[in-house]
Amino acid sequence: MDACYINISNKKSKIEKTEKFIGPVDFALYELERTRSFKEDIYDSKIPFCFGIGPMAGGILPGFNRLIFCTRSPQMGCFFMSTIGGAGIALEKTGINFVSITGKSKNPVILKIKNNSVSFEEIKKEELSKIYEKQGQRSFSDYLLEKYKNEYKDMYFRIMTVGPSAFTTDMAGINSILIKNGEFDLGAEGWAGRGGFGSKMARAHNICAIIFGGDKNIELPKKLKEIKLIEEEFRTLYNMGMGEKINSATEKYRYSEKLKTGGTHGVNFETLGSWLPMFNWQSIYLSTEERKSIYTNLVKNNYLKQFNEQTIKTKKWKNCGEACTAMCKKINNGREKDYEPFESCGPNCGIFNQDSAEKLEFFVSDMGYCAIEFGNLISFVFECIEKKLLFKEDVGIKTMPVIEPRKYTLKCSSINAEAGVELTKNITYGKTKVCQILQKGIRTACKELEVMFLDRTEERKVHFVDLANYIPFGISGSIAPSEYWMPGFYVPLPIQGKFFTHYSQDFMTPRELGRKSAERTIYEMFSENTGICRFHRGWTENLLPRLLEIRFKRKIDYFQHCKTLMQKILD
């Protein structure tokens, strides 16, 4: 395996051979320990910003080519991971398995990796700002593709970018769109969204984009590259062929004949029913009958129905670039539509119309935010305005949002979308003092706004923190919970805001919930450290120990290995 070490300060790099690591989480934890940077300020450039691929990347198995990012999260303050599906293929084509970045450029820099060659190109702040003015992150991606596609001609490559929010807030993600024949395959995009890694890339290292690709191939054992040999493993373990098992395990993400919908967007909005978080989570305080009525009238017969008509019936489906039949990318108007971003920027913001939700979610994404995190912040601000802890003038918006469930009508969707777009722009550029406070994230904002508007909280008999929903970590860290009303997402585990927990609507004893959540955490690490799409977990988790034995020519107790990784994260 090859590890690439890049110093942005002096624009130098080196590549070293290593056999120490199974996957990118192993590598990143080692790097953080090696540099002794765990006590540094979160945006200190000495903290390694790492990404890499798993040990089976480049083989024939679908789902094994995720690009895994690992570093300390600006939001949580602790070690965290975020991923982009399919993007690992481009890193595999460079011949590099792992990348560690330290140092900081004086000016915004575009980092380029071509095969095993690393180069740097600075861009003036004024020029970058001008590009962002058009359509934020999306216009910057277009600019880079047009400028560099000839340089990567006849090579498989990806472009990863951050938006303007990465330079001003802690909540930005990293975006990458699949490239086919020198053009973006619109809708086949991915986000390393959770944890604020876009903010980390920009504010710690002043990197605004990473372009990488090549025409190499990482060597793998023959058995991982030939279908007939892999088929034998599937039939031995599952008594069925590879295609049959994979299709069965990924049905939800492709299309459910029973539910007549597909993807996380369709299936989750169909099955969650009255348990769907709505109106900044105020729905949890409504009666079951009220929640069912809202769900039936606004979600099932409107929001979900529109999605099914626009995307499912027209079969606007793609994958991330892998040779994968799940076709999990459900698309409309050239953008992917997953459940969590369109729940956070949809019903939880009081938006139950797909066109209005697209208006808000697309703009939030163009500014470079994790749409899950930022949608949660928008809905919080909306309720603060509704409860008169804030006024719309405090955040510089002209549109008055409606987030009170009993006052809500469907026409409020467009009103809230308009208010959300205004708010997103104002927070990104710090238009008001309150917007500058909100740039720091929901937990810190609650503390500072409480002091700033103490007279309002005393008069209203309600505090800012009463209206906020977040998972705290340490003294100041926090992250928006996954958009599910389930007890497992509030268990105090080391990795929050993702699916490292037991998630179901079942309520059980704390001990049993803790035991199941801890076990699920370790199995989720199977996917992260091996670069596997978790949509394939239904077949990979049992087969993985055998695949690792083939890859490394030795037996590996992978459950114990991943348990040790979690213990290191806790330490």
pLDDT digits (tens, 9 = 90+) for 334-367: 999 999 999 999 999 999 999 999 999 999 999 9
- pTM listed for this prediction: 0.96
pLDDT confidence band for 223 (50 / 70 / 90): confident
Backbone angles phi, psi at 51, to 5 degrees: -150, 155
Distance of CA 226 to the CA centre of its chain: 32
Kindly report the average pLDDT of the chain as a whole number: 96
pLDDT tens for each residue of 160-178: 999 999 999 999 999 999 9
Q: Which amino acid is at 477?
A: G
Instruction: Tell me what percent of the residues of the chain surpass a pLDDT of 70.
Output: 100
Q: Answer whether residue 133 shows pLDDT above 90.
A: yes
pLDDT (0 to 100) of residue 39: 83
Report residue 181 CA to chain centroid gap: 26
Mean pLDDT across the stretch 36-62?
Answer: 94
Between CA 140 and CA 150, with CA 145 as vertex, the angle to 5 degrees is: 150
Domain ranges within the chain, ordered by starting residue: 2-218, 250-485
Mean pLDDT lowest among 52-56, 507-511, 540-544, 561-565 = 507-511
pLDDT of residue 294: 97
Confidence (pLDDT) at 217: 87
Q: Is 325 exposed, middle or buried (0-12, 13-18, 19+ CB in 10 A)?
A: middle
Domain 2-218 has CATH 3.60.9.10: yes
CB 530 within 8 A of CB 544: yes
What fold characterizes domain 250-485? 1.10.569
Q: Higher pLDDT residue, 463 or 491?
A: 463
Q: Is the pLDDT of residue 505 over 90?
A: no
Sorting pLDDT into bands at 50, 70 and 90, what band is 571? confident
Q: Averaged over 10-16, what is the pLDDT?
A: 96
Cα–Cα separations (whole angstroms), residue 340 to 168, 276, 405 = 24, 11, 20
Distance, in Å, from the CA atom of 156 to the CA atom of 335, rounded to the nearest integer, reads: 22
Rounded distance, CA 191 to CA 427, Å? 21
- The mean per-residue pLDDT over the stretch 564-569 comes to 95
Both tokens of residue 44?
Answer: 């200190």
Query: Tens of pLDDT along 225-239?
Result: 888 889 999 999 999
Region 27-56 average pLDDT = 94
Q: Would you list the DSSP string of 524-567?
A: HHHHHHHT--GGGHHHHHHHHHHHHHHHHTS---HHHHHHHHHH
- pLDDT score recorded for residue 82: 97
Residue 209 half-sphere exposure toward CB, CA atoms < 13 A: 28
